[in-house]
């Protein structure tokens, strides 16, 4: 089932999300729905707060970047095959010199800005069966993980922009929270009153 994606301005996007336990109700259905929602919106990642749940769950599937020739053939191959569910993730370390890349977010349609992040990330997480893994990722895979991880920490990519950039996009962000934006997927807007 495709779920509506929560838009910028909803308080759930600003909350630090809580860990879950293996008895979390209907987890496999939730994950299925999240994957369906992410693919339905052509996203490369989706975090639970974006569907209104402040829990430490996010998904990444970087395969849409596979044909992008700005990446080396080797990196494209990695991007093509990277699909993972992260539960209760904790970033242990971020290393290297920050690099910029134009990011977007399904909760913030129509806005893309360069975001600077460190290129190497070591993350500890549990998979859908609650087995614990500690892995290190680099490049664009690391970046997508960092972006989704920020969501479960209550941080959006727009929070990481310069104050000048923030001022420049303020009006657009307000419009998004009011539903004045176009997205090719279902969204839920915090400042649109519900019809009775």
Which residues are identified as catalytic? Answer: 148
Q: Which is nearer to Ni ion, 13 or 27 (CB)?
A: 13
Distance CA 176, CA 170 (A): 10
Give the separation between CA 19 and CA 55, rounded to whole angstroms: 6
Comparing C-alpha atoms, which of 175, 125, 180, 152 is closest to residue 12?
A: 152
Nearer to Ni ion, 22 or 100 (CB): 100
**Which CB, 126 or 158, lies closer to Ni ion?**
158
Query: In this chain, which residue has its C-beta nearest to Ni ion?
Result: 105
Name which of 20 and 105 has its Cβ closer to Ni ion.
Answer: 105
Q: Regarding beta strands 99-103 and 113-117, do their DSSP bridges make them parallel or antiparallel, or are they unpaired?
A: antiparallel
Q: How far is the CB of 105 from Ni ion (least distance, A)?
A: 3
Q: In the complex with Ni ion, which residue's Cβ is closer, 23 or 61?
A: 61
Work out how close the CB of 190 gets to Ni ion at its nearest, in angstroms, rounded to a whole number.
16
Closest CA to 174 of 157, 192, 162: 192
Shortest CB 56 distance to Ni ion, Å: 15
Local structure of 29: helix, strand or coil: helix
Residue 156: CB minimum distance to Ni ion, A: 7
> Computed from CA positions of residues 14, 141, 31, 104, in that sequence, does the dihedral angle turn out positive or negative?
positive
Q: Shortest gap between Cβ of 173 and Ni ion (angstroms)?
A: 14
DSSP-derived pairing of the beta strands 83-95 and 99-103: unpaired
Q: What angle do CA 157, 154, 87 make, to 5 degrees?
A: 105
Segment (H or E) for 61: strand 57-61
Residues in contact with Ni ion by CB under 5 A are 105
Tokens of 158: 């727009």
């Amino acid at each position: 089932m495709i779920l509506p994606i929560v838009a910028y301005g909803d308080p759930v996007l600003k909350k630090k999300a809580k860990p879950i336990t293996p008895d979390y109700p209907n987890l496999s259905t939730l994950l299925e729905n999240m994957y369906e929602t992410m693919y339905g919106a052509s996203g490369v990642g989706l975090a639970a707060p974006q569907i209104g749940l402040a829990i430490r769950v996010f998904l990444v599937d970087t395969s849409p970047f596979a044909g992008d020739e700005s990446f080396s053939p080797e990196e494209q191959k990695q991007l093509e095959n990277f699909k993972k569910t992260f539960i209760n993730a904790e970033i242990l370390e971020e290393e290297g010199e920050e690099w910029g890349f134009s990011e977007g977010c399904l909760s913030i349609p129509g806005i893309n800005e360069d975001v600077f992040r460190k290129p190497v990330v070591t993350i500890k997480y549990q998979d859908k069966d609650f087995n614990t893994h500690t892995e290190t990722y680099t490049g664009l895979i690391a970046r997508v993980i960092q972006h989704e991880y920020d969501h479960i920490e209550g941080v959006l990519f727009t929070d990481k922009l310069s104050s000048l950039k923030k001022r420049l996009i303020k009006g657009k962000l307000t419009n998004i929270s009011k539903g004045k934006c176009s997205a090719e997927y279902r969204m839920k807007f915090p400042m649109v009153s519900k019809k009775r």
